[in-house]
Structure 1
Amino acid sequence: MDGVPRQGGGPEAPREPVGKRRRFPRPWRVLPTPVGTPFTFGFGAVLVVTSLIAAYGDPALVHALHQGSSTDVAHLVRMPVLVLVASAVWVAGGVFSPFTVGFLVVLTALERRVGGVRTACVFLLGHVLATLATEVPVGVGVLVGYLPDSSLHRLDYGVSFGVAAGVGALGGVLRPWVGWPLLGVFGWMLVRNLVAFTDPMTNWGHLIAFGIGVAVWPLVRMPAAPVRLRWGRV
Structure 2
Amino acid sequence: MHRPTTRDPATGQELTGQELLNAVPAQRRPSARIVTARVTAPVLPAPVAPAVVPGVAPAVTPTAAPAPPVGLPGWRRVLQVLPTPTGTPFTFCYVLVLIATSLFVQHGDPDTVSTLLRGSSTDVAHLMDRPLLVLGASALWVAGDPLGPYAIAFFFTLTALERRIGAWRTAGVFLAGHVGATLATEIPVGVSVVAGHLPATSLHRLDYGISFGLMASIGALAGLFGPLLRATLLGFVSLMLLQDLLAFADPLTNWGHPLALLAGIACWPAVRRWARWRNGFPLRDR
Displacement of 1:24 in angstroms is 3.2
State whether structure 2 residue 171 is matched by structure 1 residue 113. no
State whether structure 2 residue 74 is matched by structure 1 residue 24. yes
Q: What is the identity, as a one-letter code, of the residue corresponding to 1:177?
A: L
Q: Which runs of 4+ in 1 moved over 4 A?
A: none
Contact 1:127 1:159 in 2 (8 A): yes
State whether structure 2 residue 259 is matched by structure 1 residue 173. no
Structure with more helix by fraction: 1
Cα-to-partner distance string for 1:123-157 (whole Å, 9 max, x where unaligned): 00000000000000110111111111111001100
Cα-to-partner distance string for 1:22-66 (whole Å, 9 max, x where unaligned): 743723422211011000001111111001111111111111000
Displacement of 1:191 in angstroms is 1.5
Cα-to-partner distance string for 1:167-217 (whole Å, 9 max, x where unaligned): 100100123332221111111111221122111110100010000000000
| Cα distance in 2 between the residues matched to 1:157 and 1:105 | 21
Superposed CA RMSD: 2.0
Higher relative contact order structure (alpha carbons within 8 Å, sequence separation ≥ 6): 1
Unaligned runs of 5+ in 2: 1-38, 41-63, 281-286
TM-score normalised over the length of structure 1: 0.86
TM-score normalised over the length of structure 2: 0.71
SS of residue paired to 1:137: helix
Equivalent residue runs for 1:91-102 within 5 Å: 91-102=142-153
Structure of higher CA gyration radius: 2
Residue of structure 2 in register with 1:158 after alignment: 209
Residue of structure 2 in register with 1:218 after alignment: 269
| Cα distance in 2 between the residues matched to 1:89 and 1:149 | 27
Contact 1:55 1:94 in 2 (8 A): no
How many residues get paired?
213
- Taking a change above 3 Å as real, the CA distance of residues 150 and 167 of structure 1, as seen in their structure-2 partners, is same
Cα-to-partner distance string for 1:80-130 (whole Å, 9 max, x where unaligned): 000000000000014212221111111001111111111101100000000
| Cα distance in 2 between the residues matched to 1:182 and 1:205 | 19
